[in-house]
Amino acid sequence: MDYTKAEPVIFTAAGETDQEREENVEMVSGSPGFAPATVIVAEAIHKDADLTVLDFTPQQVNIRFRVDGLWHPGVPMDRQTGDYMLAVLKQLAGTDYRDRRSKQKGKFETEYVRQKQKFKIVSQGIPTGERVGLYLDYKRPPLETVEDLGMRKSMVPQLVDLMKMDSSGWFLVSAVPGEGYTSAWRGALDSCDRLVKDFFVIEEVKKVEPEVINIGSITFDSSKQETALTPLPQLILREPDVLAFPDLPDGKLLESLCDVSIKHDIPMYFRNPGKNAIDALLRMIALGLPQPKKFLDQLSGVLCMRLVRKLCTKCRIEYVPHPQLLQKLGLPQGRIERLYRPFIFKPGMLDENQNEIEPCSNCSGIGYKGRTGIFELLKMTEPLRAAAIKSPNLAALTALAKKNQHISLTQEASVVIAQGVTSVEELQRMLQS
């Protein structure tokens, strides 16, 4: 990466008035830090990096970009260039460029390749120098439905069916925190018939999730010794159709909620971390329920969403899969003629004519662009309930679910691999992470 060759980035600096904003840009446009600042900003936009971290060490500035949840190293910058660049970024963001110790936050806007973006910059002195986070603020859609998130069409009515309970009953939504944990929860709540139902989400006052339209949020404050049970007596008077809890309390409290659900015939939805549906179920049992049977009888099903990166459609590489691989993925032999793998760019790569290869313009050489959700929907059955009480372990329950024609997370992912949306390598990474 050439930090001396400026990119055509137009900055709008922080400031109270247009004049102040213009002056802030003018002040830095002649600085030796201006070109590297444009290069970093352009690179972050180009890579779709929602976060770029600049680590200032005594020798140099280490740079990494977070793209679709994974870190990619950038080309390090010498310390002096880095110092000039940071002064420019801080000036644009309206923070004090001379202050290298305090935690400072600011914002600026950019226009690059006719697209407008907003950046937030957070800087903080650390013992070895300074750490700077550059957040790219994409305008994300306000709410993604489960289909937007990647659920196959035929699963949607099955999900709605399991979540639609006329009397008491429970449904569990799971994902890995930090990997679509909020999106999965919001998407699942949205997919039920919330417009005709009276919904309430009961959540800790400090952990309120972005609001789902038409769902009332009721908070409790654990610092005041309140729990998820505290608001319930008042709420029940309002005859809610569904109560939803994004954080599972301990086993004893969960049991109390179970009693409320049965006594008042109120369906309840819960959210809990899980790597797959059975893992989420086991984690719920592991909370220490006094009577697991009572709770399992209430549970209608478990939804788990995991995220995989999507192959870049511009540079993905086609290959003929080995029959053994298809068998391992559970894909029909003879029907899948080709699969795809990523083309991961490395500097110095040569093509067949010994010419240096340029990184792909669509994915910056990462090989992937964007993410999609893989959904697993587990329907609770009597044999599964009995097994979960008798031998609550992953291997036993997975084997039983398979026997009962349950479609596992891996099988769901295989379908997405067969469609060429993601790769076998990415599935393995997801399963191991």
Identity of the residue, 238 or 314, whose beta carbon is nearer to Zn ion in the bound complex: 314
Identity of the residue, 369 or 406, whose beta carbon is nearer to Zn ion in the bound complex: 369
CA 27 to CA 97: how far, in whole Å?
A: 12
Identity of the residue, 333 or 362, whose beta carbon is nearer to Zn ion in the bound complex: 362
Q: Out of 173, 235, 260, 315, point to the residue binding Zn ion (CB under 5 A).
A: 315
The region of 66-74, 252-260, 356-364, 411-419 touching Zn ion under the rule CB under 5 A is 356-364
Identity of the residue, 279 or 426, whose beta carbon is nearer to Zn ion in the bound complex: 426
CA angle 200–207–248, rounded 5-degree value: 65
Q: How far is the CB of 199 from Zn ion (least distance, A)?
A: 41
Q: How far is the CB of 112 from Zn ion (least distance, A)?
A: 19
Residues 94 and 24 sit within 8 Å (Cβ to Cβ): yes
CA 133 to CA 339: how far, in whole Å?
A: 37
Total binding residues toward Zn ion, as defined by CB under 5 A: 6
Q: Is 314 in the site for Zn ion (CB under 5 A)?
A: yes
| Structure-derived torsion over alpha carbons of residues 147, 173, 302, 326, reported in degrees to the nearest 10 | 50
CA 244 to CA 246: how far, in whole Å?
A: 7
CA 278 to CA 172: how far, in whole Å?
A: 11
- Both tokens assigned to 59: 């020798």
Burial of 344: CB neighbours in 10 Å, binned 0-12, 13-18, 19+ = middle
Q: Is 311 in the site for Zn ion (CB under 5 A)?
A: no
- Alpha-carbon distance values, 71 to 152, 230, 264, 423 (Å): 29, 42, 48, 19
The region of 30-38, 194-202, 312-320, 374-382 touching Zn ion under the rule CB under 5 A is 312-320
Q: Out of 25, 77, 363, 400, point to the residue binding Zn ion (CB under 5 A).
A: 363
The region of 33-41, 102-110, 284-292, 362-370 touching Zn ion under the rule CB under 5 A is 362-370
Identity of the residue, 53 or 424, whose beta carbon is nearer to Zn ion in the bound complex: 424
Q: How far is the CB of 67 from Zn ion (least distance, A)?
A: 12
Instruction: List residues near Zn ion by CB under 5 A.
Output: 312, 314-315, 360, 362-363
